[in-house]
Structure 1
Amino acid sequence: MKTQIKLLALLLICFSYSCSKDDDASDKEESVTDVYAVGYESDGTKNIAKTWKNGVATSLTNGANDANAASVHVVGEDVYVAGNENNVAVIWKNGIKTPLTDGSRPVFVFSVFVSGSDVYAAGMEVFPLSNGERYTARLWKNGVGITLNENKEHAWATSVYVHGNDVYVAGYEADPTTKKFVAKIWKNGMATALTNNLSGSTASAVFVSGTDVYVAGSDFIKGKSVAFIWKNGVATQLSNGTTDATATSVFVSNNNVYVAGSVNDPNQNRIPTLWKNNFPTKSFTKGIDPNANSVFVMDNDVYIGGSETKVATIWKNEQAIKLTDGTYKAQVNSVFVTKK
């Protein structure tokens, strides 16, 4: 009898262990990674704003007007895309368009970020003047826009990131005296210059990790555009300055800092570049006129969005995933990855 009880207990343990393994396997099988990208594809006449989910394209516009999808942010099942159509700033939520402006003047949105129920967008709006026009850095929260720059010089807002209750916007503004662009970060509307007003600098992207604020951009040194990363206002030069270069996107994961951008070769051909912790990795494309516009990291997989040889492309760990066939020019402006 004792032997039978022991045997029964052993069988129950084995069965329980087997079920546990099956459950673990089931959990792993149920984990799904979705890769979103946004940008545009020409139809030969107009640029059509598009999204791609796992390589499957959806048109956001019908081709009646030029349009562009500049940035994507995914929260749960909701996909937010910022861009513009026929000079109107637009937010698409799950494909449904909400204009931010009325079309009376040109407006461009470059970045979108969603925090809770609030939708933020950053961009540039053109205001007419009696003797020309003025570009202004703009931030929209739930469709209500404010101007960030204080002076009457040109300014751009290129990227927005929300961390807790703080809203960070990267961009650049012309100095009233030198007329040179100065890379800036606005925190809750208060501007901080990242460089002096003598050289000419731009800030393209902002990312916040913990208490650290990272900004990617460029500064002109001895007549060359040099790629830079700023961490809490402290600059680190990424390119060597012998040819033009720029940093366009930044992402931080597991204390590693990834920056996407480009460096020109001696013949002035643009070479898309990924820097990891301030050091360039090996080249991941040999296409014609390529670019790297966006970087996103998920589970140590590095995704870069851009284009090569007119083809909208995502590189996953340096392997190209082509989203278009190259018939017409197309590119990815922003990439976002979710796992559930």
Structure 2
Amino acid sequence: MKKITILCSSVLMLLSCKSDDDIKDNPGVDPSLFANVDLYYSGLVRNNAGVYEFKYWKNDSIVHVSTPEMVVPAEISVQNNDVYLAGYFQRIEGTSGIPLNGAVWKNGTLIQNLKATENDWVTVAAMKVTNNVVHTAGVINRKQVAYWKNGVLNKWANANLFTKVYAMDVVGNDVYILGDTQPEGKSNHVIKYWKNGVEHAVSGPDELAYGGDIKVIGSDVYVLGTVIKNGYKITLWKNGVRTTIGDNYTFGHAHSLFVENSDVYISATMQPKDGNTSPFIFKNGVSIPLEYDTDKGCSLYDLYVNNGDVYAVGSQNSKGLIWKNGKKHEISVGDFNVTLSKIDGVPKKK
């Protein structure tokens, strides 16, 4: 448990605040990366004061996001040429982050403050934009699953369990939210998803498991997670049927999945036995080779697929990374530390 706590804490401490003039627009990205799609990706840039600033990019152009408070980024989504970002504000007390409220940005401008009551802690971990409707999901006071539709709050699920939310999907009028809960008096976490507020258990009641991502394609529900038993195992459920992906790892987390046609792509950051923290992408259970410095730790978080081309984002050696079909491209902003966590894309018209 100690190692997974360290991993989660490192993500939590990726903070940002309002724009600093010392960050210049100089990513220096190979333009061939954007030959077929416009890529939109978000993350954090550490400024000269040591504070992480929330940014997003369109291809090789960086956009400064208006953030009056520190931010933990959650999601990026592009609809009708508009770029939506989600995350939550937080305050640092000692070595801990205290959640304040969730937020949504459109084209870099704050458009929604997502709150419950004045004194509630609110985290936002997921967003889906459909037909100009912004759906967001998170947790209130670390116990209550929360869903907002255009900023209007609906409270879901049991408020008496420690709960985390990781992802969501929206299909028609149906809203799916993926998370995990820790039952009172127990040390295990159970992966669950809620469909329109109704709970569906995914992992076993006595297993230790953490959520990752959810995608709904037609009548098929895909759930990604990490099961901890004799090692850390990347695990995919399709309509409740479980498949273990890759090996048993020392620790790590399965982050995201993408389904294109009948192909299922999975991204993860895992530590193999006798190795460093490493990035992984799997296509239908088969690992895709990735370029990175194997002598140092490397993280990979999110992926996007277009016509079989696989794009992913992560970080290594204080630089952001984008992979296209396994080839890495460094995203640098001067000498500042860059971490990339989310990606979306729009195919270019031929």
Say yes or no: TM over 0.5.
yes
Q: How far apart are 1:186 and its partner, in Å?
A: 1.0
Q: Are 2:319 and 2:339, in contact at CA under 8 Å, matched by a contact in 1?
A: yes
User: Which position in structure 2 is the counterpart of 1:72?
Assistant: 76
What amino acid is aligned across from residue 267 of structure 1 in structure 2?
A: D
1:113 aligned to 2:128?
A: yes
1:324 aligned to 2:329?
A: no
Q: Quick one: which of 148, 151, 160 aligns to 1:143?
A: 151
Structural mapping, 1:205-244, within 5 Å? 205-222=213-230, 224-244=231-251
What amino acid is aligned across from residue 196 of structure 1 in structure 2?
A: G
What amino acid is aligned across from residue 193 of structure 2 in structure 1?
A: I
Relative to 1, partners in 2 of residues 1:80 and 1:205: Cα closer, same or farther, differing over 3 Å? Answer: same
In 1, Cα distance between equivalents of 2:274 and 2:152? 45
Structural mapping, 1:117-196, within 5 Å? 117-126=132-141, 134-176=142-184, 178-196=186-204
Q: Deviations over 1:189-238 (max 9, x none)?
A: 1111111121211111111222211111111113x221111111111111
1:99 aligned to 2:113?
A: yes
Q: Are 2:157 and 2:198, in contact at CA under 8 Å, matched by a contact in 1?
A: no
Q: Are 1:48 and 1:68, in contact at CA under 8 Å, matched by a contact in 2?
A: no
Q: Are 2:76 and 2:86, in contact at CA under 8 Å, matched by a contact in 1?
A: yes
What amino acid is aligned across from residue 74 of structure 1 in structure 2?
A: V
Higher helix fraction: Structure 1 or Structure 2? 1
Relative to 1, partners in 2 of residues 1:144 and 1:99: Cα closer, same or farther, differing over 3 Å? Answer: same
- Percent identity of the aligned residues? 27
Q: Quick one: which of 42, 45, 49 aligns to 2:54?
A: 49
In 1, Cα distance between equivalents of 2:266 and 2:280? 8
Moved more, 240-249 or 92-101: 240-249
In 1, Cα distance between equivalents of 2:249 and 2:301? 22
What amino acid is aligned across from residue 286 of structure 1 in structure 2?
A: D
In 2, Cα distance between equivalents of 1:240 and 1:92? 38
Q: Are 1:205 and 1:215, in contact at CA under 8 Å, matched by a contact in 2?
A: yes
Q: Quick one: which of 303, 312, 315 aligns to 2:323?
A: 315
In 2, Cα distance between equivalents of 1:41 and 1:108? 21
Q: Are 1:39 and 1:68, in contact at CA under 8 Å, matched by a contact in 2?
A: no
User: Which position in structure 2 is the counterpart of 1:89?
Assistant: 102
Q: Are 1:218 and 1:246, in contact at CA under 8 Å, matched by a contact in 2?
A: yes
- Contiguous gaps of at least 5 residues in structure 1: 1-30, 127-133
Q: Quick one: which of 187, 198, 205 aligns to 2:206?
A: 198
Moved more, 112-121 or 316-325: 316-325
Q: Quick one: which of 293, 305, 320 aligns to 1:286?
A: 293
What amino acid is aligned across from residue 226 of structure 2 in structure 1?
A: S
Structure number with bigger Rg: 1
User: Which position in structure 2 is the counterpart of 1:14?
Assistant: none
User: Which position in structure 2 is the counterpart of 1:18?
Assistant: none
In 1, Cα distance between equivalents of 2:56 and 2:198? 33
User: Which position in structure 2 is the counterpart of 1:23?
Assistant: none
Any idea what SS the aligned residue of 1:176 has? coil
Q: Are 1:47 and 1:68, in contact at CA under 8 Å, matched by a contact in 2?
A: no
What amino acid is aligned across from residue 84 of structure 1 in structure 2?
A: Y
Q: How far apart are 1:188 and its partner, in Å?
A: 1.1
User: Which position in structure 1 is the counterpart of 2:28?
Assistant: none
Relative to 1, partners in 2 of residues 1:214 and 1:79: Cα closer, same or farther, differing over 3 Å? Answer: same
Q: How far apart are 1:137 and its partner, in Å?
A: 2.5
Relative to 1, partners in 2 of residues 1:107 and 1:315: Cα closer, same or farther, differing over 3 Å? Answer: same
In 1, Cα distance between equivalents of 2:159 and 2:114? 23
Q: Are 2:79 and 2:132, in contact at CA under 8 Å, matched by a contact in 1?
A: no
Relative to 1, partners in 2 of residues 1:172 and 1:326: Cα closer, same or farther, differing over 3 Å? Answer: farther
Q: Are 2:194 and 2:200, in contact at CA under 8 Å, matched by a contact in 1?
A: yes
Q: Are 1:136 and 1:148, in contact at CA under 8 Å, matched by a contact in 2?
A: yes
Q: Quick one: which of 252, 270, 273 aligns to 2:280?
A: 273
Q: How far apart are 1:34 and its partner, in Å?
A: 0.8
Q: How far apart are 1:67 and its partner, in Å?
A: 2.0
In 1, Cα distance between equivalents of 2:56 and 2:114? 19
Relative to 1, partners in 2 of residues 1:190 and 1:284: Cα closer, same or farther, differing over 3 Å? Answer: farther
Report the TM-score when normalising by structure 2: 0.80
In 2, Cα distance between equivalents of 1:201 and 1:80? 30
What amino acid is aligned across from residue 63 of structure 2 in structure 1?
A: T
- Contiguous gaps of at least 5 residues in structure 2: 1-34, 91-99
In 1, Cα distance between equivalents of 2:324 and 2:249? 29
Q: Deviations over 1:43-95 (max 9, x none)?
A: 14222111110021111146x64223321111111111101233331100122
Moved more, 38-47 or 71-80: 38-47
Q: How far apart are 1:245 and its partner, in Å?
A: 3.7
1:303 aligned to 2:311?
A: yes
Paired positions, count? 301
